[in-house]
Amino acid sequence: MHKLLLTLAIVATAGSLLSCSPTVTQPSPPGKKAARVEITQGPALEGAREDFAIIRWTTKNPGGTDVHYGVVHYGTDPNDLNQTGKNPVRINRDNRDLVFRVRVPDLKPPTTYYYKVEATDANGKSHDIESTLKQFTTPAPGQRIVNYPAQTVSQPK
């Protein structure tokens, strides 16, 4: 009796794995694209250490592809933002806002950096938004800056 039940369980499991519904495994089509995307909050420095920083900003949900990219163009000369940080974010179609957090790597302590942010869809198409020029200064070695949620605090590591 146990052998029969075990055989039935194996057959049922194998059958369910082999007859998986194609609608479950196919990605959903892109959502409705927003007519206009704008930055609603930020960009601002969320935090920094001597060698990297996190820049954060919020936009209205752009719709379209499920994956979007936050892009930060930065450099030590406000007229030459020759470095780029880029991070993906997956949208939730039910949320009206999208929060971008981008890691800005390869920084030197204590140095002032200038930056602008933009966003793209998964195909690299720009949302046609660009922030105004912002700046931050990296902390000294062994220090860090925490600017989130609403305060600036310098702390040792």
Q: What is the pLDDT of residues 89-128, one digit of tens each?
A: 998 878 888 999 999 999 999 999 999 999 998 888 888 8
Cis peptide before 43 (omega within 30 of 0): yes
- DSSP letters spanning 57-113: EEEE---SSSEEEEEEEEESBTTB--EEEEEEEE--TT-SEEEEEEEE-S--TT-EE
Hey, what amino acid is at 11? V
Whether the pLDDT of residue 4 is over 50: the answer is: yes
- Residue 152, classed as helix, strand or coil, is coil
Domain ranges of the chain: 39-146
Please tell me the predicted confidence (pLDDT) of residue 3: 74
Prediction pTM value: 0.74
Q: Which of 60-74, 102-116, 118-132, 143-157 has the highest mean pLDDT?
A: 102-116
CA distances from 32 to 44, 57, 61, 66, 96 (A): 28, 22, 10, 11, 12
- Grade residue 153 by pLDDT with cuts at 50, 70 and 90: very low
Total length of the chain: 157
Looking at per-residue confidence, does 25 or 69 come out higher? 69
pLDDT value of residue 148: 63
Fold of 39-146: Immunoglobulin-like (2.60.40)
When the pLDDT of each residue in the chain is averaged and rounded to a whole number, the result is: 82
